[in-house]
A and B are shown apart, each in its own frame.
Chain A
Amino acid sequence: MTAAVRRRAGLRELGLGLALPFVLVVIWEAAGRAGVVPQGILPAPSLVAAAWRDWAFADPGLGLNPYLGTWGETVLFSARRVFTGFVCAILIGVPMGIMIGWNRMVAGAVDPLIQSLRPIPITAWLPFAIAVFGIRDAGAVFLIALGAFFPIVVNATAGARDVPRNLIRAARMMGANERQLLLRVVLPAALPNIFTGMRLGLGIAWTAVIVAEIVAVKSGLGYVLWDAYYVGRMDVVIADMVSIGIAGFLSDRVLVAVQLRVLHWKQAVRA
Protein backbone atom coordinates (compact mmCIF):
# COMPACT_ATOMS: atom_id res chain seq x y z
CA MET A 1 0.00 0.00 0.00
CA THR A 2 1.46 3.37 -0.98
CA ALA A 3 1.50 6.34 1.38
CA ALA A 4 -1.09 8.18 -0.72
CA VAL A 5 -3.52 5.25 -0.69
CA ARG A 6 -3.04 4.82 3.03
CA ARG A 7 -3.67 8.53 3.61
CA ARG A 8 -6.85 8.39 1.56
CA ALA A 9 -8.03 5.35 3.54
CA GLY A 10 -7.25 7.25 6.75
CA LEU A 11 -9.28 10.25 5.61
CA ARG A 12 -12.21 8.05 4.68
CA GLU A 13 -12.14 6.50 8.14
CA LEU A 14 -11.97 9.94 9.75
CA GLY A 15 -14.93 11.13 7.64
CA LEU A 16 -16.93 8.08 8.65
CA GLY A 17 -16.14 8.68 12.31
CA LEU A 18 -17.22 12.33 12.15
CA ALA A 19 -20.51 11.66 10.34
CA LEU A 20 -22.53 10.43 13.33
CA PRO A 21 -21.51 13.22 15.74
CA PHE A 22 -22.23 15.76 12.99
CA VAL A 23 -25.74 14.40 12.42
CA LEU A 24 -26.44 14.42 16.16
CA VAL A 25 -25.29 18.04 16.48
CA VAL A 26 -27.51 19.05 13.56
CA ILE A 27 -30.57 17.35 15.12
CA TRP A 28 -29.75 18.92 18.48
CA GLU A 29 -29.48 22.38 16.92
CA ALA A 30 -32.71 21.93 14.93
CA ALA A 31 -34.56 20.69 18.00
CA GLY A 32 -33.38 23.75 19.92
CA ARG A 33 -34.48 26.19 17.22
CA ALA A 34 -37.85 24.49 16.80
CA GLY A 35 -38.43 24.95 20.52
CA VAL A 36 -38.75 21.21 21.16
CA VAL A 37 -36.17 21.31 23.98
CA PRO A 38 -36.21 24.05 26.61
CA GLN A 39 -33.04 26.08 26.11
CA GLY A 40 -32.55 26.53 29.83
CA ILE A 41 -31.95 22.79 30.16
CA LEU A 42 -30.31 21.81 26.89
CA PRO A 43 -29.11 24.90 25.00
CA ALA A 44 -28.48 24.45 21.26
CA PRO A 45 -24.89 23.96 20.04
CA SER A 46 -24.76 27.49 18.65
CA LEU A 47 -25.58 28.91 22.10
CA VAL A 48 -22.98 26.68 23.75
CA ALA A 49 -20.39 27.81 21.19
CA ALA A 50 -21.20 31.46 21.87
CA ALA A 51 -20.93 31.01 25.63
CA TRP A 52 -17.66 29.16 25.16
CA ARG A 53 -16.27 31.95 22.95
CA ASP A 54 -17.09 34.53 25.65
CA TRP A 55 -15.71 32.29 28.37
CA ALA A 56 -12.47 31.92 26.44
CA PHE A 57 -11.92 35.30 24.80
CA ALA A 58 -14.27 38.01 26.15
CA ASP A 59 -12.89 40.93 28.15
CA PRO A 60 -13.37 40.03 31.84
CA GLY A 61 -14.27 43.68 32.52
CA LEU A 62 -14.66 44.21 36.26
CA GLY A 63 -14.49 40.45 36.79
CA LEU A 64 -18.06 40.29 38.06
CA ASN A 65 -19.07 37.68 35.46
CA PRO A 66 -16.90 34.60 36.12
CA TYR A 67 -17.61 33.25 32.63
CA LEU A 68 -15.87 36.00 30.68
CA GLY A 69 -12.29 35.38 29.57
CA THR A 70 -11.46 32.89 32.33
CA TRP A 71 -11.43 29.63 30.37
CA GLY A 72 -7.66 29.49 29.89
CA GLU A 73 -6.77 29.87 33.55
CA THR A 74 -9.54 27.45 34.52
CA VAL A 75 -8.14 24.76 32.24
CA LEU A 76 -4.63 25.46 33.55
CA PHE A 77 -5.73 25.05 37.17
CA SER A 78 -7.11 21.59 36.44
CA ALA A 79 -4.26 20.57 34.13
CA ARG A 80 -1.65 21.57 36.70
CA ARG A 81 -3.35 19.49 39.40
CA VAL A 82 -3.64 16.50 37.09
CA PHE A 83 0.00 16.83 36.11
CA THR A 84 1.25 17.13 39.70
CA GLY A 85 -0.86 14.25 40.98
CA PHE A 86 -0.04 12.07 37.99
CA VAL A 87 3.71 12.63 38.35
CA CYS A 88 3.47 11.78 42.07
CA ALA A 89 1.62 8.58 41.16
CA ILE A 90 4.36 7.61 38.69
CA LEU A 91 7.20 8.43 41.07
CA ILE A 92 5.68 6.27 43.80
CA GLY A 93 3.84 3.64 41.73
CA VAL A 94 6.60 2.59 39.32
CA PRO A 95 9.38 1.87 41.85
CA MET A 96 6.93 0.27 44.26
CA GLY A 97 5.41 -1.93 41.52
CA ILE A 98 8.85 -3.02 40.33
CA MET A 99 9.89 -3.95 43.86
CA ILE A 100 6.65 -5.87 44.48
CA GLY A 101 7.07 -7.76 41.20
CA TRP A 102 10.74 -8.42 41.81
CA ASN A 103 11.04 -9.25 45.48
CA ARG A 104 8.85 -11.83 47.17
CA MET A 105 9.44 -10.25 50.61
CA VAL A 106 8.28 -6.83 49.42
CA ALA A 107 5.32 -8.45 47.67
CA GLY A 108 4.32 -10.23 50.86
CA ALA A 109 4.61 -7.07 52.93
CA VAL A 110 3.06 -4.46 50.62
CA ASP A 111 0.80 -6.19 48.11
CA PRO A 112 -1.99 -7.18 50.56
CA LEU A 113 -2.29 -3.54 51.71
CA ILE A 114 -2.50 -2.27 48.13
CA GLN A 115 -5.03 -4.93 47.16
CA SER A 116 -7.25 -4.10 50.14
CA LEU A 117 -7.18 -0.33 49.52
CA ARG A 118 -7.71 -0.65 45.78
CA PRO A 119 -11.46 -1.48 45.83
CA ILE A 120 -12.26 1.76 47.70
CA PRO A 121 -13.58 4.11 44.98
CA ILE A 122 -11.72 7.36 44.62
CA THR A 123 -14.92 9.29 45.45
CA ALA A 124 -15.09 7.57 48.85
CA TRP A 125 -11.75 9.15 49.74
CA LEU A 126 -13.15 12.70 49.40
CA PRO A 127 -14.12 13.35 53.05
CA PHE A 128 -10.82 11.88 54.16
CA ALA A 129 -8.88 14.10 51.73
CA ILE A 130 -10.72 17.25 52.86
CA ALA A 131 -10.34 16.39 56.54
CA VAL A 132 -6.62 15.85 56.18
CA PHE A 133 -5.68 18.49 53.59
CA GLY A 134 -8.54 21.02 53.94
CA ILE A 135 -10.03 23.03 51.07
CA ARG A 136 -6.71 23.38 49.33
CA ASP A 137 -4.83 22.13 46.28
CA ALA A 138 -3.16 19.37 48.26
CA GLY A 139 -6.46 17.54 48.73
CA ALA A 140 -7.15 17.50 45.00
CA VAL A 141 -3.58 16.43 44.19
CA PHE A 142 -3.81 13.66 46.80
CA LEU A 143 -6.99 12.28 45.23
CA ILE A 144 -5.54 12.41 41.72
CA ALA A 145 -2.27 10.76 42.79
CA LEU A 146 -4.14 8.05 44.67
CA GLY A 147 -6.49 7.35 41.77
CA ALA A 148 -3.67 7.14 39.22
CA PHE A 149 -1.40 5.20 41.59
CA PHE A 150 -3.38 1.95 41.63
CA PRO A 151 -3.38 1.07 37.91
CA ILE A 152 0.27 2.14 37.66
CA VAL A 153 1.45 0.04 40.58
CA VAL A 154 -0.58 -3.01 39.55
CA ASN A 155 0.71 -2.95 35.97
CA ALA A 156 4.31 -2.25 37.01
CA THR A 157 4.07 -5.25 39.33
CA ALA A 158 2.83 -7.48 36.52
CA GLY A 159 5.55 -6.18 34.19
CA ALA A 160 8.34 -6.82 36.68
CA ARG A 161 6.97 -10.25 37.56
CA ASP A 162 6.79 -11.37 33.92
CA VAL A 163 10.33 -10.54 32.82
CA PRO A 164 11.52 -13.63 30.89
CA ARG A 165 13.70 -15.69 33.21
CA ASN A 166 16.48 -16.06 30.67
CA LEU A 167 16.87 -12.28 30.33
CA ILE A 168 17.56 -12.13 34.07
CA ARG A 169 19.94 -15.06 33.80
CA ALA A 170 21.71 -13.51 30.81
CA ALA A 171 22.23 -10.25 32.71
CA ARG A 172 23.51 -12.09 35.77
CA MET A 173 25.96 -14.18 33.78
CA MET A 174 27.28 -10.99 32.17
CA GLY A 175 28.05 -9.64 35.62
CA ALA A 176 25.14 -7.28 36.36
CA ASN A 177 24.63 -6.58 40.06
CA GLU A 178 21.20 -6.31 41.69
CA ARG A 179 20.85 -2.56 41.06
CA GLN A 180 21.91 -2.85 37.41
CA LEU A 181 19.53 -5.76 36.99
CA LEU A 182 16.59 -3.67 38.18
CA LEU A 183 17.46 -0.53 36.23
CA ARG A 184 18.81 -2.07 33.01
CA VAL A 185 16.69 -5.18 32.64
CA VAL A 186 13.58 -5.31 34.85
CA LEU A 187 12.56 -1.67 34.36
CA PRO A 188 12.88 -1.62 30.54
CA ALA A 189 11.22 -5.03 30.28
CA ALA A 190 8.31 -3.78 32.42
CA LEU A 191 7.91 -0.49 30.53
CA PRO A 192 5.19 -1.69 28.11
CA ASN A 193 3.04 -2.70 31.12
CA ILE A 194 3.92 0.51 32.94
CA PHE A 195 2.67 2.59 30.01
CA THR A 196 -0.59 0.62 29.99
CA GLY A 197 -0.96 1.46 33.68
CA MET A 198 -0.12 5.12 33.08
CA ARG A 199 -2.78 5.49 30.39
CA LEU A 200 -5.41 3.96 32.68
CA GLY A 201 -4.14 6.13 35.53
CA LEU A 202 -4.34 9.32 33.49
CA GLY A 203 -8.01 8.66 32.74
CA ILE A 204 -8.70 8.21 36.45
CA ALA A 205 -6.69 11.36 37.19
CA TRP A 206 -9.13 13.45 35.11
CA THR A 207 -12.08 11.87 36.89
CA ALA A 208 -10.48 12.60 40.24
CA VAL A 209 -9.67 16.23 39.46
CA ILE A 210 -13.29 16.99 38.50
CA VAL A 211 -14.67 15.34 41.64
CA ALA A 212 -12.12 17.10 43.83
CA GLU A 213 -12.81 20.49 42.27
CA ILE A 214 -16.56 20.07 42.64
CA VAL A 215 -16.21 19.43 46.35
CA ALA A 216 -12.86 20.45 47.72
CA VAL A 217 -11.37 23.44 45.86
CA LYS A 218 -12.70 26.66 44.36
CA SER A 219 -11.10 26.72 40.91
CA GLY A 220 -10.70 24.59 37.79
CA LEU A 221 -13.03 22.90 35.34
CA GLY A 222 -14.81 20.86 38.02
CA TYR A 223 -15.52 23.91 40.15
CA VAL A 224 -16.87 25.89 37.17
CA LEU A 225 -18.97 22.90 36.09
CA TRP A 226 -20.84 22.79 39.40
CA ASP A 227 -20.91 26.55 39.90
CA ALA A 228 -22.40 27.14 36.43
CA TYR A 229 -25.01 24.47 37.09
CA TYR A 230 -26.04 26.26 40.30
CA VAL A 231 -26.60 29.57 38.54
CA GLY A 232 -28.40 27.88 35.65
CA ARG A 233 -25.75 28.44 33.01
CA MET A 234 -26.23 25.14 31.17
CA ASP A 235 -24.44 26.57 28.13
CA VAL A 236 -21.29 26.93 30.25
CA VAL A 237 -21.86 23.48 31.79
CA ILE A 238 -21.86 21.86 28.35
CA ALA A 239 -18.87 23.91 27.17
CA ASP A 240 -17.06 22.81 30.34
CA MET A 241 -17.90 19.14 29.73
CA VAL A 242 -16.54 19.32 26.21
CA SER A 243 -13.41 21.08 27.52
CA ILE A 244 -12.79 18.23 29.99
CA GLY A 245 -13.18 15.71 27.18
CA ILE A 246 -10.72 17.54 24.96
CA ALA A 247 -8.19 17.97 27.78
CA GLY A 248 -8.39 14.28 28.64
CA PHE A 249 -8.05 13.28 25.01
CA LEU A 250 -5.07 15.57 24.35
CA SER A 251 -3.21 14.50 27.49
CA ASP A 252 -3.67 10.86 26.44
CA ARG A 253 -2.29 11.68 22.98
CA VAL A 254 0.78 13.27 24.59
CA LEU A 255 1.30 10.17 26.71
CA VAL A 256 0.96 7.92 23.64
CA ALA A 257 3.51 10.06 21.78
CA VAL A 258 5.95 9.62 24.68
CA GLN A 259 5.20 5.89 24.72
CA LEU A 260 5.95 5.54 21.00
CA ARG A 261 9.30 7.26 21.52
CA VAL A 262 10.32 5.32 24.61
CA LEU A 263 9.11 1.95 23.30
CA HIS A 264 10.41 2.51 19.78
CA TRP A 265 11.89 -1.01 19.92
CA LYS A 266 8.39 -2.47 20.24
CA GLN A 267 7.28 -1.51 16.74
CA ALA A 268 10.66 -1.59 15.04
CA VAL A 269 10.04 -4.83 13.16
CA ARG A 270 10.49 -3.95 9.52
CA ALA A 271 10.35 -6.10 6.44
Chain B
Amino acid sequence: MTDAVAIRGLRKVFEGRAGAVEALAAIDMTLAEGEFACILGPSGCGKSTLLNVIAGFEAPTEGSASVFGAPVSAPGPDRAVVFQEASLFPWLSVRDNVTFGPRMLGRPKDETDALARRFLDLVGLSGFEHHLPDQLSGGMKQRVGIARCLILNPRVYLMDEPFGALDAQTRMQMQELLTHVWDQARGTVLFITHDIDEAIFLADTVYVMTARPGRMRSRIAIELPRPRSIDLLTDPRFNALRADILRQIREEAIKAMAEEERARR
Protein backbone atom coordinates (compact mmCIF):
# COMPACT_ATOMS: atom_id res chain seq x y z
CA MET B 1 0.00 0.00 0.00
CA THR B 2 1.25 3.51 -0.77
CA ASP B 3 1.71 5.84 2.14
CA ALA B 4 -0.77 8.69 2.43
CA VAL B 5 2.05 11.13 3.03
CA ALA B 6 5.72 10.41 2.49
CA ILE B 7 8.44 12.90 3.38
CA ARG B 8 11.95 12.04 2.22
CA GLY B 9 15.06 13.92 3.29
CA LEU B 10 13.17 17.19 3.47
CA ARG B 11 15.26 20.26 4.12
CA LYS B 12 14.09 23.87 4.01
CA VAL B 13 16.32 26.93 4.18
CA PHE B 14 14.95 30.46 4.15
CA GLU B 15 17.18 33.10 2.59
CA GLY B 16 16.63 36.29 4.54
CA ARG B 17 18.27 39.68 4.76
CA ALA B 18 19.97 38.53 7.97
CA GLY B 19 21.36 35.45 6.22
CA ALA B 20 20.08 31.94 5.67
CA VAL B 21 17.94 30.24 8.31
CA GLU B 22 17.65 26.48 8.27
CA ALA B 23 14.03 25.76 9.26
CA LEU B 24 13.94 22.04 8.59
CA ALA B 25 16.85 19.62 8.51
CA ALA B 26 16.45 16.17 7.00
CA ILE B 27 12.88 15.24 7.85
CA ASP B 28 11.74 11.72 7.09
CA MET B 29 8.25 10.60 7.95
CA THR B 30 5.34 8.63 6.58
CA LEU B 31 1.66 8.75 7.41
CA ALA B 32 -0.54 5.73 6.78
CA GLU B 33 -3.93 6.19 5.19
CA GLY B 34 -6.48 7.09 7.85
CA GLU B 35 -3.86 8.07 10.42
CA PHE B 36 -4.44 11.07 12.65
CA ALA B 37 -0.96 12.46 13.29
CA CYS B 38 -0.12 15.39 15.52
CA ILE B 39 3.17 17.22 15.25
CA LEU B 40 4.32 18.78 18.49
CA GLY B 41 7.22 21.12 18.81
CA PRO B 42 8.49 24.33 20.39
CA SER B 43 7.58 27.52 18.56
CA GLY B 44 9.87 28.30 15.66
CA CYS B 45 10.79 24.65 15.12
CA GLY B 46 9.52 24.67 11.56
CA LYS B 47 6.40 22.59 12.03
CA SER B 48 4.26 25.01 10.04
CA THR B 49 6.90 25.02 7.32
CA LEU B 50 6.59 21.27 7.08
CA LEU B 51 2.83 21.60 6.62
CA ASN B 52 3.28 24.37 4.03
CA VAL B 53 5.57 22.14 1.99
CA ILE B 54 3.04 19.29 1.98
CA ALA B 55 0.27 21.77 1.10
CA GLY B 56 2.34 23.00 -1.84
CA PHE B 57 2.58 26.57 -0.53
CA GLU B 58 6.36 26.37 -0.23
CA ALA B 59 8.92 24.43 -2.21
CA PRO B 60 11.48 22.31 -0.33
CA THR B 61 15.16 23.22 -0.58
CA GLU B 62 16.09 19.55 -0.69
CA GLY B 63 14.15 16.31 -0.57
CA SER B 64 10.53 15.77 -1.43
CA ALA B 65 7.00 15.36 -0.18
CA SER B 66 4.50 13.11 -1.88
CA VAL B 67 0.86 12.33 -1.23
CA PHE B 68 -0.38 8.90 -2.23
CA GLY B 69 2.69 8.50 -4.41
CA ALA B 70 2.27 11.80 -6.28
CA PRO B 71 5.01 14.37 -5.66
CA VAL B 72 3.68 17.68 -4.33
CA SER B 73 4.26 20.61 -6.67
CA ALA B 74 1.37 23.03 -6.09
CA PRO B 75 -1.61 23.45 -3.75
CA GLY B 76 -4.71 21.48 -4.63
CA PRO B 77 -8.05 20.26 -3.29
CA ASP B 78 -6.65 16.78 -2.55
CA ARG B 79 -4.83 18.40 0.41
CA ALA B 80 -7.27 20.53 2.40
CA VAL B 81 -5.79 23.08 4.79
CA VAL B 82 -7.30 24.49 7.97
CA PHE B 83 -5.40 27.67 8.86
CA GLN B 84 -4.70 29.08 12.30
CA GLU B 85 -6.64 32.24 11.49
CA ALA B 86 -9.71 30.82 9.77
CA SER B 87 -8.89 32.82 6.61
CA LEU B 88 -12.47 32.86 5.33
CA PHE B 89 -13.48 35.24 2.55
CA PRO B 90 -15.14 38.09 4.48
CA TRP B 91 -17.34 39.10 1.52
CA LEU B 92 -18.92 35.65 1.18
CA SER B 93 -21.66 34.16 3.35
CA VAL B 94 -20.87 31.09 5.45
CA ARG B 95 -22.52 28.90 2.82
CA ASP B 96 -20.63 30.47 -0.08
CA ASN B 97 -17.36 30.11 1.82
CA VAL B 98 -18.06 26.40 2.23
CA THR B 99 -19.10 25.87 -1.41
CA PHE B 100 -16.18 27.95 -2.78
CA GLY B 101 -14.04 24.90 -3.62
CA PRO B 102 -16.61 22.81 -5.51
CA ARG B 103 -17.91 25.96 -7.24
CA MET B 104 -14.40 26.67 -8.55
CA LEU B 105 -14.41 23.18 -9.99
CA GLY B 106 -17.66 23.94 -11.79
CA ARG B 107 -20.08 21.87 -9.71
CA PRO B 108 -23.71 23.13 -9.99
CA LYS B 109 -24.97 25.44 -7.26
CA ASP B 110 -27.97 23.46 -6.05
CA GLU B 111 -25.76 20.41 -5.60
CA THR B 112 -23.06 22.29 -3.66
CA ASP B 113 -25.67 24.11 -1.53
CA ALA B 114 -27.10 20.76 -0.44
CA LEU B 115 -23.61 19.50 0.39
CA ALA B 116 -22.85 22.67 2.34
CA ARG B 117 -25.99 22.16 4.43
CA ARG B 118 -24.85 18.64 5.26
CA PHE B 119 -21.35 19.64 6.35
CA LEU B 120 -22.47 22.76 8.21
CA ASP B 121 -24.87 20.51 10.08
CA LEU B 122 -22.01 18.14 10.88
CA VAL B 123 -19.95 20.95 12.45
CA GLY B 124 -23.00 22.31 14.29
CA LEU B 125 -23.59 25.42 12.22
CA SER B 126 -26.95 24.80 10.61
CA GLY B 127 -28.94 28.03 10.61
CA PHE B 128 -25.82 30.14 10.01
CA GLU B 129 -25.65 29.64 6.22
CA HIS B 130 -26.38 33.29 5.46
CA HIS B 131 -24.22 34.86 8.14
CA LEU B 132 -21.03 36.66 7.20
CA PRO B 133 -17.72 35.51 8.74
CA ASP B 134 -17.40 38.76 10.73
CA GLN B 135 -20.66 37.93 12.49
CA LEU B 136 -19.24 34.67 13.88
CA SER B 137 -17.10 33.93 16.93
CA GLY B 138 -13.57 32.56 16.53
CA GLY B 139 -14.66 28.99 17.18
CA MET B 140 -17.52 29.23 14.70
CA LYS B 141 -15.21 30.63 12.01
CA GLN B 142 -12.88 27.70 12.53
CA ARG B 143 -15.84 25.30 12.13
CA VAL B 144 -16.59 26.94 8.77
CA GLY B 145 -12.91 26.45 7.93
CA ILE B 146 -13.30 22.73 8.70
CA ALA B 147 -16.57 22.43 6.75
CA ARG B 148 -15.04 23.97 3.63
CA CYS B 149 -12.33 21.30 3.82
CA LEU B 150 -14.76 18.43 4.39
CA ILE B 151 -16.74 19.39 1.28
CA LEU B 152 -13.59 18.97 -0.83
CA ASN B 153 -13.44 15.29 0.14
CA PRO B 154 -9.63 15.54 0.22
CA ARG B 155 -7.17 12.69 0.59
CA VAL B 156 -5.29 14.48 3.38
CA TYR B 157 -6.29 17.15 5.91
CA LEU B 158 -3.57 19.57 6.94
CA MET B 159 -4.36 21.55 10.08
CA ASP B 160 -2.00 24.33 11.14
CA GLU B 161 -2.69 25.04 14.83
CA PRO B 162 -6.37 25.54 13.99
CA PHE B 163 -7.40 26.04 17.63
CA GLY B 164 -4.29 27.92 18.74
CA ALA B 165 -5.98 31.32 18.76
CA LEU B 166 -9.08 30.20 20.66
CA ASP B 167 -9.75 30.51 24.40
CA ALA B 168 -9.31 27.37 26.50
CA GLN B 169 -13.02 26.63 26.82
CA THR B 170 -13.72 26.95 23.10
CA ARG B 171 -10.59 25.01 22.25
CA MET B 172 -11.77 22.04 24.27
CA GLN B 173 -15.18 22.13 22.58
CA MET B 174 -13.51 22.26 19.18
CA GLN B 175 -11.28 19.29 20.02
CA GLU B 176 -14.33 17.23 20.96
CA LEU B 177 -16.11 18.37 17.82
CA LEU B 178 -13.12 17.44 15.68
CA THR B 179 -12.86 13.90 17.09
CA HIS B 180 -16.60 13.55 16.58
CA VAL B 181 -16.35 14.74 12.97
CA TRP B 182 -13.31 12.58 12.35
CA ASP B 183 -15.03 9.49 13.69
CA GLN B 184 -17.59 10.01 10.90
CA ALA B 185 -15.56 11.44 8.03
CA ARG B 186 -12.24 9.65 8.70
CA GLY B 187 -9.35 10.57 6.46
CA THR B 188 -5.65 11.17 6.97
CA VAL B 189 -4.87 14.16 9.16
CA LEU B 190 -1.67 16.03 9.86
CA PHE B 191 -2.34 18.33 12.78
CA ILE B 192 0.21 20.90 13.97
CA THR B 193 0.04 22.06 17.58
CA HIS B 194 2.15 23.11 20.54
CA ASP B 195 -0.50 21.95 23.01
CA ILE B 196 0.44 18.54 24.45
CA ASP B 197 -3.04 17.67 25.74
CA GLU B 198 -4.51 18.53 22.37
CA ALA B 199 -2.05 16.28 20.58
CA ILE B 200 -2.66 13.28 22.87
CA PHE B 201 -6.40 13.78 22.85
CA LEU B 202 -6.68 13.88 19.05
CA ALA B 203 -3.93 11.75 17.63
CA ASP B 204 -3.15 8.16 16.74
CA THR B 205 0.49 9.14 16.62
CA VAL B 206 2.32 12.12 18.07
CA TYR B 207 5.56 13.28 16.46
CA VAL B 208 7.79 15.43 18.63
CA MET B 209 10.02 17.82 16.73
CA THR B 210 13.35 19.23 17.85
CA ALA B 211 14.20 22.91 18.18
CA ARG B 212 15.33 24.68 15.03
CA PRO B 213 16.47 23.33 12.65
CA GLY B 214 13.51 21.00 12.99
CA ARG B 215 13.98 17.25 12.95
CA MET B 216 11.76 14.42 14.11
CA ARG B 217 12.81 13.55 17.63
CA SER B 218 10.38 10.76 18.38
CA ARG B 219 7.20 9.07 17.31
CA ILE B 220 4.74 8.08 20.02
CA ALA B 221 1.76 5.85 19.34
CA ILE B 222 -1.34 6.92 21.28
CA GLU B 223 -3.22 3.74 21.95
CA LEU B 224 -6.23 5.24 23.67
CA PRO B 225 -9.68 3.93 22.76
CA ARG B 226 -12.03 5.86 20.47
CA PRO B 227 -14.47 7.55 20.50
CA ARG B 228 -12.66 9.83 22.92
CA SER B 229 -14.24 12.30 25.29
CA ILE B 230 -13.04 14.98 27.67
CA ASP B 231 -13.06 12.40 30.52
CA LEU B 232 -9.90 11.04 28.97
CA LEU B 233 -7.96 14.06 30.24
CA THR B 234 -7.92 12.58 33.76
CA ASP B 235 -7.12 9.01 32.69
CA PRO B 236 -3.81 7.70 34.17
CA ARG B 237 -2.66 6.49 30.75
CA PHE B 238 -3.22 10.00 29.45
CA ASN B 239 -1.15 11.43 32.29
CA ALA B 240 1.70 9.00 31.68
CA LEU B 241 1.84 9.97 28.00
CA ARG B 242 1.73 13.65 28.90
CA ALA B 243 4.60 13.29 31.40
CA ASP B 244 6.75 11.54 28.82
CA ILE B 245 6.08 14.06 26.05
CA LEU B 246 6.42 17.01 28.41
CA ARG B 247 9.90 15.85 29.37
CA GLN B 248 10.93 15.62 25.71
CA ILE B 249 9.47 19.05 24.89
CA ARG B 250 11.20 20.63 27.88
CA GLU B 251 14.57 19.26 26.80
CA GLU B 252 14.01 20.75 23.37
CA ALA B 253 12.95 24.10 24.83
CA ILE B 254 16.10 24.28 26.97
CA LYS B 255 18.19 23.42 23.92
CA ALA B 256 16.45 26.14 21.93
CA MET B 257 17.15 28.73 24.62
CA ALA B 258 20.80 27.77 24.83
CA GLU B 259 21.02 27.98 21.03
CA GLU B 260 19.52 31.46 21.07
CA GLU B 261 21.87 32.66 23.80
CA ARG B 262 24.82 31.36 21.85
CA ALA B 263 23.60 33.15 18.74
CA ARG B 264 23.31 36.43 20.62
CA ARG B 265 26.69 36.31 22.21
Contacts and interface: CB of A to CB of B under 8 A. Distances in A.
A40 interface: no
Contact of B87 (A170, A184, A188, A265): A170
B164 interface: no
A114 B105 CA distance: 37
Nearest to B151: A174
A176 B105 CA distance: 8
B87 A268 contact: no
Contacts of B105: 175
27 contacts: A166-B85, A167-B89, A169-B55, A169-B75, A169-B87, A171-B100, A171-B104, A172-B57, A172-B75, A172-B76, A173-B55, A173-B56, A173-B76, A173-B80, A174-B77, A174-B100, A175-B101, A175-B105, A175-B152, A176-B104, A177-B104, A184-B100, A263-B91, A265-B90, A265-B91, A268-B132, A269-B135
Residue from A174, A177, A184, A191 having most chain B Cβ neighbours under 10 A: A174
A110 B171 CA distance: 48
Interface residues of A, number: 23
Interface in B78-110: 79-81, 83, 85, 87-91, 100-101, 104-105
B81 A175 contact: no
A265 B81 contact: no
A169 B135 CA distance: 23
A176 B106 CA distance: 10
Interface of B: 55-57, 74-77, 79-81, 83, 85, 87-91, 100-101, 104-105, 132, 134-135, 148, 152
Contacts of B89: 167, 170, 185, 188
Given A185-B89, A265-B90, 9 more contacts: A169-B83, A170-B81, A170-B87, A171-B104, A173-B77, A173-B81, A174-B104, A189-B91, A265-B91
